[in-house]
Structure 1
């Protein structure tokens, strides 16, 4: 693709994102899937431009608002990003627009004049308010300030960067060394992750899901923070384990590997479509002993009452810890949705408590960085369930993970700025034996 065609592809994909109202990564994947003629190098370039516009939404909007474009279309936002971030000149854009068969239409006089007012300026300005400068909706700032305090700017800057691609080695089929060698034989270079003893970090951007190692089930794509959360569940062969919010099965797969295929592992979710996707992944991984069951509302089943040694609640949440991967999600989140997540978390935790047998553990995990979804929920749970007590995360870390545990107190929070992972929160609760 020529540079102009890449610009036009980014514009079209952003238009599709606005029209779809779905997460940007899904829309981008659909857009590129329908255009097989776009090569891997061009796909990376187009995706990079799209994500740049998404990551700089507030600052681009602020600059465009200064020149009277408060509701700027995707085309103008792409062009403004190229001028402000990449320091391209309007003269260069004039050559790219209208000159190629698959490129953007020629610049209108009004567009040219507007872009000239932006030429030579920096994306950042000391006049920008905090929410704009930090790329955060104003209503969320108090919650994030409460979470990060004096580290707010560093943490939000890290949330605006590109996330790494991490892989988890499936110990049901291969250890880390064998999986790494298999990837290397296909020209895919990796390095061990610093925290998870099962993780590999990909060098560059490679279509790892097209690799033989992936097809054979030796690896799964999973952020190191998610791997850490699964390891802290402290499961072992022969246990009875439940993953109550299994979704597409990411952590279920990690639990199955830790159990070495022995014991009872229940993967449940209220959405049968997500569990269907989990089924294919479990089959590829060789985890055919996992039981998948749709559990909705108050349903539990008498066979589940106090039936499990470990119950994992990977709770639905704001997803603020994954904003590196979904930069548009922060703008789609509303106060009402956050309130709904908090209510769901309380409800799921309460139901999960009844499934833990005396002497067993309940593990609460979110990919959120907000105290309202994390520490506040754990405190409320302990206040309402006197049979449960916090289990020190540091003790579990020592047994299963590398390096010093970064946990403060009984809970663990991982962040992109400090740990290089997605944002994750983990709390573990012991159920005391009955008197």
Structure 2
């Protein structure tokens, strides 16, 4: 591979924003890809994948390059040189790469890779939490899988099309997909492609949604005609899936504390042809109290550490702090206590997270069921998904039923 100066500069600029200014990697990459209209798909792919790679392996590459935060541009070029050397790319004769110790880089990589927190490039405290909660063997496999590139999975919008027809339409566009056993609406891309430019996407035939995430709506056990509340709807990936399972019959109340996210859901719902969704901003306790004892089904897709989806958000591990984890566990129990009151007698509740930590998952459910607010509920079933076992995002979901 030959390195092009303008593409490498884009990478360095992006890393500066992510590492030194705390910007989110996905937003930075979106901006970078608009920098030069002449860039083809290969150029854009190089910029996006290189930025994500260096973000993912920040700690390891910084150790090898012997640089410390905050990184100046020379530091970032040294980390870039480490990335290129380990990829087997010949470094061009640029001033940024003068005196790069190629042999030493490979030796340091072999040496440092013996230590898990360096090999998997994670903060000490996350490594300690993972070992404590999952055990040494399981955590070692899980965090290694969280550094693998995630597959692109589509969820067929069955309000408009069947999975088989969608597969054929995408094939005509040169996008090859395959079915995934046990996932009713899922199609996995054989090779990465920009699916958002296809007519199939513009017509609302599918959404991009990981296979594990697609299990949550199924777990909720909805049916046409029900009243369903999605309490932490965000931009609505699971809301739209619920709408398709309900065949546009009944009512979905999609709630969130962020109005901007619900506005995105409104646009997506229009494209999907989902007409049974009401949007409610949680700006006080009023919207919640109005729904007490009214819902057949309630979904709490709770805020969490996101340690099950680091493959998709590698910069999250550098933004997470131990205090956040302590605070989010308190928030999780609060939303369980509050939002569960929307479930009517005989109705069902799903608590879900994209974390792999028991303290955010089954421990929260146990604490809820033992509490005064949870005495009327019983656990029907739960599902723990680890990325290294399933191959998809780490997730947890628990189905509870309110006794009649």
Q: Does TM, normalized by the shorter one, top 0.5? A: yes
Unpaired runs of 5+ residues, structure 1, are 98-105, 393-410
Is 1:47 the counterpart of 2:45 in the alignment?
no
**1:380 corresponding residue in structure 2:** 367
- Separation (CA, whole Å) in 1 of partners of 2:113 and 2:138: 21
**1:324 corresponding residue in structure 2:** 311
Residues 245-269 of structure 1 show CA distances to partners (whole Å, capped at 9, x for unaligned) of 0000000000000000000110000
- Separation (CA, whole Å) in 2 of partners of 1:373 and 1:135: 23
- Separation (CA, whole Å) in 2 of partners of 1:33 and 1:237: 43
Is 1:253 the counterpart of 2:240 in the alignment?
yes
My pick for the range that moved more, 20-29 or 311-320, is 20-29
Residues 212-252 of structure 1 show CA distances to partners (whole Å, capped at 9, x for unaligned) of 11110111111011101111111110111000000000000
**1:271 corresponding residue in structure 2:** 258
Residues 112-147 of structure 1 show CA distances to partners (whole Å, capped at 9, x for unaligned) of 335346344363425754322232211122321133
- Separation (CA, whole Å) in 1 of partners of 2:152 and 2:92: 36
Q: What SS does structure 2 have at the residue aligned with 1:171?
A: coil
- Separation (CA, whole Å) in 2 of partners of 1:297 and 1:316: 18
- Separation (CA, whole Å) in 1 of partners of 2:126 and 2:275: 43
Distance 1:78-1:326 versus aligned 2 partners, 3 A rule:
same
**2:396 corresponding residue in structure 1:** 425
- Does the 8 Å contact 1:80/1:115 carry over to 2? no
Distance 1:124-1:243 versus aligned 2 partners, 3 A rule:
farther
- Does the 8 Å contact 1:363/1:427 carry over to 2? yes
- Does the 8 Å contact 1:143/1:371 carry over to 2? no
My pick for the range that moved more, 1-10 or 25-34, is 1-10
Correspondence list, 1:29-108, <5 A:
29-65=30-66, 69-71=67-69, 72=71, 73-83=75-85, 85-88=86-89, 92-95=90-93, 97=94, 106-107=95-96
Give TM-score scaled by structure 1 length: 0.87
- Separation (CA, whole Å) in 2 of partners of 1:130 and 1:2: 32
Q: What SS does structure 2 have at the residue aligned with 1:380?
A: helix
- Separation (CA, whole Å) in 2 of partners of 1:59 and 1:197: 39
**2:127 corresponding residue in structure 1:** 141
Partner residue of 1:160 out of 131, 147, 154: 147
My pick for the range that moved more, 204-213 or 187-196, is 187-196
**2:9 corresponding residue in structure 1:** 8
- Separation (CA, whole Å) in 2 of partners of 1:284 and 1:419: 31
Residues 73-112 of structure 1 show CA distances to partners (whole Å, capped at 9, x for unaligned) of 32221112112x2134xxx4243x2xxxxxxxx23xxx63
- Does the 8 Å contact 1:363/1:428 carry over to 2? yes
- Separation (CA, whole Å) in 1 of partners of 2:322 and 2:158: 41
- Does the 8 Å contact 1:64/1:70 carry over to 2? no
- Separation (CA, whole Å) in 2 of partners of 1:119 and 1:247: 43
- Separation (CA, whole Å) in 2 of partners of 1:187 and 1:388: 49
- Separation (CA, whole Å) in 2 of partners of 1:357 and 1:120: 61
Q: CA RMSD in A?
A: 1.8
Correspondence list, 1:234-253, <5 A:
234-253=221-240
- The alignment covers a number of residue pairs equal to 396
Unpaired runs of 5+ residues, structure 2, are none
Distance 1:301-1:337 versus aligned 2 partners, 3 A rule:
closer
Deviation (angstroms), 1:4:
2.6
**2:348 corresponding residue in structure 1:** 361
**1:397 corresponding residue in structure 2:** none
- Does the 8 Å contact 1:59/1:132 carry over to 2? yes
Q: What SS does structure 1 have at the residue aligned with 2:296?
A: strand
Distance 1:114-1:391 versus aligned 2 partners, 3 A rule:
same
